[in-house]
Amino acid sequence: MTQQVYITRAVPDLVSSMLQQALPGLRIEANRHDRNLTAAELLQHATGANGLICTLADPIDRSLLQALAPKLKVVATYAVGVNNIDLVAARELGICVTNTPGVLTDATAEIAVGLILACARRMVEGDRLTRHDGFTGWAPLFHRGHGVFGKTLGIVGAGRIGKRVAQAMLHGFGCRVLYTSRAPHPDWDNELAATHLELEDLLAQSDFVSLHCPLTPQTRHLLDARRIALMKPSAILVNTARGPVIDEAALVKALTQGVIAAAGLDVYEDEPRLAPGLTALPNVVLLPHIGSATLETRNEMGRMCAQAVIDVLQGRRPRHALT
């Protein structure tokens, strides 16, 4: 019987090449419109598939998995986060779920550091101003921002990406590093001279707060109005983790009222929609979820997804299996 794989978005060509080479006769179908599918569309197109390559925008819930079982054997998500996938249901139905950990670390850390710099030195504001004839010459009080060297960086979530950001800011800018996590990490303490703090203390002491925690029921709206208010008026908040970690409406209010100086966002609470008022604010840098958007990283993510599908359909357990 011919095996089938459905891919929910356009992906690098190497994905299809790998699948076809390893699984001769495999039928590959992909979302020709390259847009997010509704739940009904996803069910329609994925029915009959033995493998599914999806993104974090696809709702892989219990009802979908039940409808696709028992033919569906593997869901390979083109992401690290899996909060859009019902792992419990997948496990019960015998469907293997995989992700792409590790490969996104450097690329996402680059964006986090870039957002810190862009916000601190008001780069995007300066670009807009210059393009619209607002630059009339150098002046002592013109377009001042905040320095970065020697400041205090607070990392929320002591995973690979958070550590990479801490390393870059410590060694590149001489920043003092604070971090919060469920428990202290000796490697952070020893390698980065970092200090483990409770979240509230970290927020109060940090000049830059960078979020790197997963989205769970406990971290949803982790940064709400009360916690944002604990930050310094000169502080900058950066999020390259998951949008709902921040209460976006509360952030808009805080930025409008000067509770904090600025924010840099690559993810949003209700992607791709933004909270009302966010785009009108001059003190926020908004990126279109490009944390992992380098040629090298996206190719490697595709390779990992393809290999996971190949492994399962050839009877092997893939390296990054979660169920």
DSSP string, 277-315: TSTT-TTEEE--S-TT-SHHHHHHHHHHHHHHHHHHHTT
Q: Identify the structural domains of the chain with CATH numbers, from first to last.
A: 4-103+295-313 (3.40.50.720), 105-286 (3.40.50.720)
Q: Are 83 and 216 in contact (CB under 8 A)?
A: yes
Q: Among candidates 191, 76, 58, 171, which has minimal Cα distance to 179?
A: 191
Give me the active site residues, please.
242, 271, 289
Q: What is the pTM for the complete model shown? A: 0.91
Instruction: Give phi and psi for 190, each to the nearest 5.
Output: -80, -45
How far apart CA 299 and CA 287 sit, in angstroms, is 21
Q: What's residue 227's pLDDT?
A: 98
Helix H or strand E encompassing 92 = helix 87-93
Q: Split the chain (323 residues) into runs of 10 and give each run's mean pLDDT.
A: 93 96 95 88 96 95 97 96 95 98 95 98 96 95 96 96 98 98 93 97 98 95 98 98 97 98 97 96 97 96 98 97 96
For 86-106, b where at least 16 C-beta lie within 10 A, e where not — what string? bbebbeebebbbbbbbebbbb
